[in-house]
Amino acid sequence: MLRIIMALVLTVQGIAHAGPMGFKDSWMAMGDFGPNWRELWVNYALTPRDAVGGGLLYMRSDDKRKTRTLTEATYTRLLHRWNTRESQANVWLLGGIGGVEGNDFSGSKLMVSPGVQLDYETTRMYVSGMARLYRAYRTHGASGLNHDYASVRAGFSFFEADYDETQPWVIVEARRMRALSDKLEVTPMLRLINKGYFIEAGVNNSRQWRFNFMYVF
Amino acid sequence: MAGVAQANFQTIKAEVNGMVCAFCAQGIEKKMRSLTQTQDVYVDLKNKVVAVQLKDGQKLSLDTVKDLIKDAGYDVTRIETVGDSAQQIRAATRARK
């Protein structure tokens, strides 16, 4: 089963992070795919504010020599939400614990990945920031790992859309991950939001394609 | 002269804060459609309105609708029962544009 899921992850490619969980009693699947970063999450919202799930993350260095594959159990907490007539803002806590494997060390290391995401959205404008630690600690003489990650996103929509219409957005994301890439990855993307799906596609400053999606079921 | 029978609809209409995108607001529609009492649902993103039309003879409390919208992640600022159908509310909204 794990191989099937990994195959799915490796054939598609980056995560959208508009809101990392759905509504109470819903399942949400999220994917973020590119040559150096492939991520797939599925979580279930136990309450309007808490979701548990699992995720798979494949990371590769810019020179393609170093890889990491993280399989983790995740917890997402909506710490606070501000709803106004014209906007919504959120503070999310993200957490993960799992095993990471790499092509430059043997076996699997225990990795923890706590993080925080802030976002603000109106019908025409979107901004968000996310910081997440990806740490595997030194054990029995084996060295630790630090792949801490940060991203910011900003975008706008061309027009307001009705509930049953598809709304196009332009989103620009800048992100960086420690110890695998020295570059700031910048990706302009076209986002399409519909009541049934959320997809993004773009090309980054290394001319690599990216595709993100979210789906609630 | 034979009169035209006027349908007597019962629709719960709520004004909702935080509804800024269709993908996020889908939870409201799904929650409302899962109720056995629901005939039709209309979500108006621009005017921040959710209308839940009930089946003939069905009852649903305003608090239930309010709680379901809260569970979907939003805040209700006003809620009332009106005599229009969800379709009529949709048509009236579109006529104003």
φ/ψ of B33, rounded to 5, equals: -70, -20
A122 to A184, A198, B8, B45: CA distances (angstroms): 27, 16, 37, 11
Residue from B16, B19, B23 whose CB has the most chain A CBs within 10 Å, to mutate: B23
Residues near B24 by Cβ (< 8 Å), separated by ≥ 6?
A18, A19, A88, B73
Phi, psi of A168 (to 5 degrees): -85, 140
Confidence band of A214 (pLDDT split at 50, 70, 90): very high
Give residue A13's pLDDT: 33
Closest CB to B26: pick one of A162, A167, A216: A216
Instruction: Please tell me the total count of domains within chain A.
Output: 1
Exposure string (b/e) for B38-72, b if CB count within 10 Å is 16 or more? bbbbbbbbeebbbbbbbeeeeebeeeebbebbbbb
Interchain contact A18–B (C-beta under 8 A):
yes
Q: Are B19 and A123 in contact (CB under 8 A)?
A: no
Indicate whether A5 pLDDT > 60.
no
Residues of A whose CB is below 8 A from B22:
161-165, 167, 193-195
- Which residue(s) pair with A216 in the sheet? A28
Q: What is the pLDDT of residue A141?
A: 66
Cross-chain residue pair B46–A18, CB shorter than 8 Å: no
pLDDT above 90 for A17: no
pLDDT of residue A9: 35
Asked if the C-beta of B35 comes within 8 angstroms of chain A's C-beta atoms, the answer is no
pLDDT at B6: 55
Q: How far apart are CA A152 and CA A135, in angstroms?
A: 21
CA of B83 to nearest chain A CA: how many angstroms apart?
A: 23
The architecture of the domain spanning B11-96 is 2-Layer Sandwich (3.30)
- The CATH number assigned to the domain holding A62 equals 2.40.160.40
Cβ contacts of residue B6 below 8 Å, gap of 6+?
none
Name the residue with higher pLDDT: A184 or A18. A184
- Nearest-by-CA chain B residue for A215: B23
Binned at pLDDT 50, 70 and 90, residue A200 comes out as very high
- For the cut 90, the answer to whether the pLDDT of residue A30 exceeds it is yes
* Residue B97: per-residue pLDDT: 67
Structural domain including A25 reads: 2-216
In chain B, the percentage of residues whose pLDDT exceeds 90 is: 68
The reported pTM is: 0.85
Measured CA to CA, the distance from residue A178 to residue B64 in angstroms comes to 48
Give A6's pLDDT tier (boundaries 50, 70, 90): very low
When pLDDT is averaged across residues A152-157 and rounded to a whole number, the result is 96
Mark the ranges of chain B whose per-residue pLDDT is less than 70.
1-7, 97
DSSP for B34-68, written as a single string: TSTTEEEEEEETTTTEEEEEEPTT----HHHHHHH
- Taking alpha carbons only, the member of A34, A73, A30, A78 closest to residue A197 is A30
Q: Which residue has the tokens 């459609």?
A: B33
The pLDDT tens digits for A75-96 are: 999 999 999 999 999 999 999 9
Please state, for a pLDDT cut of 90, what percent of chain A lies above it.
Answer: 71
- Indicate yes or no: CB of B20 within 8 angstroms of CB of A160: no
CA quadruple A56, A62, A67, A69: dihedral, nearest 10? -10
CB contact under 8 A, B18 and A88: yes
